[in-house]
C-alpha cells in the first residue's frame, strides 16, 4: 500500500527523548507522499528540555510538513467534523496521554484530535513511549489494545536493566504499521524485543 496522497495527522506529546526519531519518521512520511499535518500537545509546544527547545520542535515540524501545526483545542476540534485525516498517529504517545485517552479525557489538542478522529471510525495509530508501561500504565495500554480503530506501532522494553517498566515503540516500523492500520489491521508482532 502506498501512503501517497493519504492525509495523515501526526500528534506529538512530551516524550522529548524520542523527538530525533519522531522528526526522522515525519520526513519519511512526507517522502512517501503523505499529506502530513502535525498537532502539538500543550507540553510538547511549551516545555524546553535537555533534548531541545519547544519552539524549535514546532519550527522543525512546520519546515518538514510545510504546514502550520495545530496548537490549540479549537484548532484540533474540526478534525472530526471536517474529516481531516485518513489516519492519525500519536508519535510519541506518553503514558499520560495513553491514560487520558483510555479514560476519555480530552484536555489537550492531541486528545481532542484523537477523540474527533475516532468519531469518524478512522484508524488511530499509537507510538507508545512511557517509563511505566509495565507498571501503572499497563492497564491503559491493555484497554487501548482492545479498543476499536486503535492500533499500535510495535513496541518493547528499551532498557530492561535500568528501567524495567519502560517500553518504547520501534519507530522504524511506523510506516508498515501505518499501512496496516489503514487496512484495519494491527501490524504484528505488536510486542518486540
pLDDT value at residue 51: 79
**Residues paired with residue 128 on neighbouring β-strands, in sequence order:** 93
Domain ranges of the chain: 7-182
Average pLDDT of span 124-153 = 97
156-186, pLDDT tens digit by residue?
999 999 999 999 999 999 999 999 999 999 9
- Residues 188, 153 contacting (CB under 8 angstroms): no
pLDDT value at residue 27: 98
The three grid cell numbers given for residue 37, joined into one nine-digit string: 499535518
35-76, pLDDT tens digit by residue?
999 999 998 888 778 778 879 999 999 999 999 999 999 999
Provide Rg for the chain, Cα atoms.
15
pLDDT value at residue 46: 87
30-42, pLDDT tens digit by residue?
999 999 999 999 9
Angle between helices 95-102 and 138-145 (to 10 degrees): 60
Side-chain-side CA neighbours of residue 98 (13 Å):
30
Provide the pLDDT confidence category of residue 147 given band limits of 50, 70 and 90: very high
Average pLDDT of span 74-86 = 98
> Is the per-residue pLDDT at 190 higher than 90?
yes
Q: How deeply is 143 buried, as exposed, middle or buried, from its count of CB atoms within 10 A (0-12, 13-18, 19+)?
A: middle
Q: With H, G, I as helix, E, B as strand and everything else as coil, classify residue 166.
A: coil
pLDDT value at residue 193: 82
pLDDT value at residue 138: 96
Q: How many residues does the chain have?
A: 193
pLDDT value at residue 38: 98
**Residues paired with residue 88 on neighbouring β-strands, in sequence order:** 9, 124
Query: How many Å apart are CA 131 and CA 95, to the nearest integer?
Result: 8
Prediction pTM value: 0.96
The CATH classification number of 7-182 equals 3.40.50.1950
- Residues 39, 12 contacting (CB under 8 angstroms): yes
87-122, pLDDT tens digit by residue?
999 999 999 999 999 999 999 999 999 999 999 999
Amino acid at each position: 500500500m502506498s501512503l501517497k496522497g493519504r492525509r495523515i495527522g501526526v500528534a506529538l506529546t512530551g516524550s522529548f527523548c524520542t523527538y530525533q526519531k519522531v522528526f526522522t519518521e515525519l520526513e519519511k512520511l512526507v517522502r512517501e507522499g503523505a499529506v502530513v499535518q502535525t498537532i502539538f500537545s500543550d507540553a510538547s509546544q511549551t516545555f524546553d528540555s535537555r533534548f531541545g527547545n519547544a519552539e524549535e520542535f514546532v519550527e522543525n515540524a512546520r519546515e518538514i510538513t510545510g504546514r502550520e501545526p495545530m496548537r490549540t483545542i479549537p484548532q484540533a476540534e474540526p478534525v472530526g467534523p471536517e474529516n481531516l485525516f485518513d489516519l492519525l498517529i500519536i508519535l510519541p504517545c506518553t503514558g499520560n496521554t495513553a491514560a487520558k485517552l483510555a479514560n476519555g479525557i480530552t484536555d489537550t489538542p492531541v486528545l481532542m484530535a484523537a477523540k474527533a478522529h475516532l468519531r469518524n471510525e478512522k484508524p488511530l495509530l499509537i507510538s507508545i513511549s512511557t517509563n511505566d508501561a509495565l507498571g501503572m500504565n499497563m492497564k491503559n495500554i491493555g484497554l487501548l489494545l482492545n479498543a476499536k480503530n486503535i492500533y499500535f506501532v510495535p513496541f518493547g522494553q528499551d532498557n530492561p536493566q535500568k528501567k524495567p517498566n519502560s517500553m518504547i515503540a520501534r519507530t522504524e516500523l511506523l510506516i508498515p504499521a501505518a499501512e496496516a492500520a489503514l487496512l484495519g489491521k494491527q501490524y504484528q508482532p505488536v510486542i518486540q524485543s
